[in-house]
C-alpha cells in the first residue's frame, strides 16, 4: 500500500496542493516541509481522516469533526483526490461534498454501497453539518476509479488498516469535536480536560499514536507477549524460546550503553547502566526525552506490526539532537523498511538525510539555510 499523489484544491489553509510521492524512490521516506502555518499537520490529518475513518461507521464522527466549516456553495465541492498504489494498480479516490437535496438517489439506493456513475464507482459516506446548527446540509461521497467493483470493499478495509498517524499530543487535532478542542483554553478538571478527550480518541482510532514520552504500556505489553511466546514454545518443543531475549537485545541496541528489563510484576520496566564494573539503576531523569521518544517510536512500529503501510508522522524531530534528526531516517529504514513514511518537519538535518527529490514542500516553503552559518 502506497500513497502516490494527493491533491487538495481548497481546505482550510491548504490551497492548490498537488504532491506526488514517487513509488520507485528508495528509501520510501518523504519529508514534507513548510514554514509554520503552511498546513503540514492539516494535510496529514486530512489524509488520515479520509482513509482511516471514511468507511468505518464507528469512526465517521471524527471525520465529521474535521469537515466542520467545509460548505458547498453550488452543487458540489471537491475535498481531495488521493491516489493509492494497490496490487499493481493506481486506485484513485475522489472525495467531494454535495448538497443533501442532490443526493437522494445516492442515499436511498446505496446506503454505503458503491454504484457506477460518471465512469467510476460512487460511494455514499455520510451526511454532515458544516456549522454548529446541527442541520446536516451536506453529504460526503467518494468516487473510486481503477478498481473492480467487487474488490472495493476489501480494498477500503485494507486501506483503513494500513494508514497510520503519529504526532505529538501538543498538536491540535482537527478530528476532535469543537467542544473538546476548546478545553485547551480552560483549566483542567478531574472529569473533563482536553487530554482525556484525546485519550478517548486514541482508543477509538487504532491507527493513531502520540509519541510524547515513554510508551510504557506498549513496552510492557510487548515484553509480556515475548515471554508468552517463549512459554508457548517450551510447551510445544520442550525448549524455551528466544523472543524475549531478542526483543531485549534490539532495545539495548537503541539505548546504547543502557539496558532495559521488565519488572518482576510484569507491569513496569527498569533501566540500568554498566559503569566502571558496576550496574547502576537509572531513574527517569537519567534518560533524555529524545532517548525515550526514539524507544517509543520503535515499540509502536513493532508492537502493532506496522508493515507495508502508509505512516504519516508529524514533527518527528521534536526532542531529537540534530544528529538524531538525521539518524531517524536510517532508523525507520532499519526498524520497518516495508513502510512508506511521510514526515511533516521543520528539520533541515532530517531532509539532508535524503535526496532533494525526496523532499516535498508546501507554501510558504522552508527558508534555505546559509551555508556560511
Q: Where are the domains of the chain?
A: 2-210, 215-286
Closest to 357 measured CA to CA, from 29, 44, 120: 29
Q: What is the pLDDT along the chain (373 residues), one digit of tens a residue?
A: 999 999 999 999 999 999 999 999 999 999 998 888 789 999 999 999 999 999 899 999 999 999 988 988 878 899 999 999 998 889 999 999 988 654 454 544 444 444 444 556 788 888 888 776 666 788 899 999 998 888 888 999 999 999 999 999 888 999 999 889 988 888 887 778 888 899 999 999 999 999 876 788 888 999 999 999 999 999 999 988 999 999 999 999 888 888 998 999 999 999 999 888 888 999 888 888 888 889 999 999 998 999 999 999 999 998 899 999 999 999 999 999 999 999 999 999 999 999 999 999 998 776 565 554 4
Give strand pairing partners of 7: 18, 81
Q: Which long-range contacts (CB under 8 A, 24 or more apart) does 323-332 make?
A: 323/349, 324/290, 324/294, 325/349, 325/350, 326/350, 326/352, 326/353, 327/353, 328/294, 328/353, 329/27, 329/29, 329/353, 329/354, 331/294, 331/297, 331/298, 332/27, 332/29
Q: pTM higher than 0.95, yes or no?
A: no
User: What is the pLDDT at residue 369?
Assistant: 57
- Quick one: pLDDT at residue 342? 98
* Residues 6+ positions from 284 with CB-CB distance below 8 Å: none
> What does the pLDDT read at residue 367?
59
The per-residue pLDDT for 8 is 97
Q: From residue 202, give the alpha-carbon distance in Å to each of 99, 199, 210.
A: 31, 5, 8
pLDDT computed for residue 113 by the predictor: 42
- DSSP conformation class of 327: H
The rounded distance, in Å, linking the Cα atoms of 135 and 137 is: 6
Q: Quick one: pLDDT at residue 134? A: 64
Amino acid at each position: 500500500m502506497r500513497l502516490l499523489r494527493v491533491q487538495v484544491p481548497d481546505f482550510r489553509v491548504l490551497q492548490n496542493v498537488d504532491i506526488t510521492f514517487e513509488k520507485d524512490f528508495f528509501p520510501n521516506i518523504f519529508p514534507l516541509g513548510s514554514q509554520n502555518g503552511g498546513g503540514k499537520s492539516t494535510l496529514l490529518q486530512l489524509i488520515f481522516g479520509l482513509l482511516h475513518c471514511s468507511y468505518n461507521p464507528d469512526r465517521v464522527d471524527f471525520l465529521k469533526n474535521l469537515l466542520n466549516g467545509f460548505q458547498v456553495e453550488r452543487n458540489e465541492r471537491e475535498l481531495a483526490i488521493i491516489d493509492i498504489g494497490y496490487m499493481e494498480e493506481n486506485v484513485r479516490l475522489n472525495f467531494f461534498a454535495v448538497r443533501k437535496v442532490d443526493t437522494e438517489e445516492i442515499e436511498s439506493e446505496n446506503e454505503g454501497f458503491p454504484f457506477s456513475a460518471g465512469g467510476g464507482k460512487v460511494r455514499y459516506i455520510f451526511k454532515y453539518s458544516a456549522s454548529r446548527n446541527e442541520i446536516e446540509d451536506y453529504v460526503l461521497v467518494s468516487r473510486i476509479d481503477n478498481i473492480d467493483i467487487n474488490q472495493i470493499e476489501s480494498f477500503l478495509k485494507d486501506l483503513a488498516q494500513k494508514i497510520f498517524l503519529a504526532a505529538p499530543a501538543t498538536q491540535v487535532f482537527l478530528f476532535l469535536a469543537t467542544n473538546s478542542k476548546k478545553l485547551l483554553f480552560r483549566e483542567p478538571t478531574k472529569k473533563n480536560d482536553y487530554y482525556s478527550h484525546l485519550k478517548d480518541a486514541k482508543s477509538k482510532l487504532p491507527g493513531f499514536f502520540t509519541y510524547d514520552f515513554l510508551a510504557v504500556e506498549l513496552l510492557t505489553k510487548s515484553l509480556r507477549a515475548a515471554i508468552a511466546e517463549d512459554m508457548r514454545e517450551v510447551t510445544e518443543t520442550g525448549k524455551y524460546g528466544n523472543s524475549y531475549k531478542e526483543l531485549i537485545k534490539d532495545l539495548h541496541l537503541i539505548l546504547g550503553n543502557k539496558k532495559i528489563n521488565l519488572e518482576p510484576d510484569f507491569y513496569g520496566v527498569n533501566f540500568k547502566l554498566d559503569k566502571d564494573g558496576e550496574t547502576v539503576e537509572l531513574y527517569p531523569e537519567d534518560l533524555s526525552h529524545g532517548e525515550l521518544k526514539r524507544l517509543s517510536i520503535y515499540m509502536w512500529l513493532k508492537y502493532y506490526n506496522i508493515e507495508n503501510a502508509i505512516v504519516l508522522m508529524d514533527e518527528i524531530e521534536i526532542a531529537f539532537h540534530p544528529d538524531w534528526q538525521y539518524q531517524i531516517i536510517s532508523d525507520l529504514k532499519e526498524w520497518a523498511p516495508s513502510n512508506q513514511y511521510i514526515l511533516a518537519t521543520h528539520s533541515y538535518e532530517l531532509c539532508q538525510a535524503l535526496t532533494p527529490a525526496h523532499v516535498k514542500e508546501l507554501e510558504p516553503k522552508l527558508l534555505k539555510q546559509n551555508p556560511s552559518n
